[in-house]
Amino acid sequence: YDQQGALREGPWKIVRPKPRGSAPLEPWQLYNLNEDIGESRNLADTQPARFQRMLARWQAIDRQMVPPTRIRT
């Protein structure tokens, strides 16, 4: 539902960073946190099967989410 998201599977993490201001939405990224705790090497292109599997799992979970309710004051 939101523009940002993340999913962990063991040492693997996919993340879509929150856009800054009016910047366009950034693409999803894949990291192996055992080898890159600082998330500086995006492995989405070198691990396409893992990336697609994790993204599909995130999308399935996201479809089940209920949009947040805005509280008006």
Q: Per-residue pLDDT tens for 2-58? A: 578 899 999 999 999 877 777 777 899 999 999 999 999 999 999 999 999 999 999
Q: Quick check: 66 pLDDT over 80?
A: no
Q: Enumerate residues 6+ apart whose C-beta is below 8 A from 19.
A: 3, 4, 25, 26
Residue 54: CB atoms within 10 A of its CB come to: 20
The pLDDT, as a whole number, for residue 60 is: 94
**Alpha-helix residue ranges (DSSP H) falling in 1-73:** 48-64
The pLDDT, as a whole number, for residue 25 is: 79
Q: Quick check: 64 pLDDT over 60?
A: yes
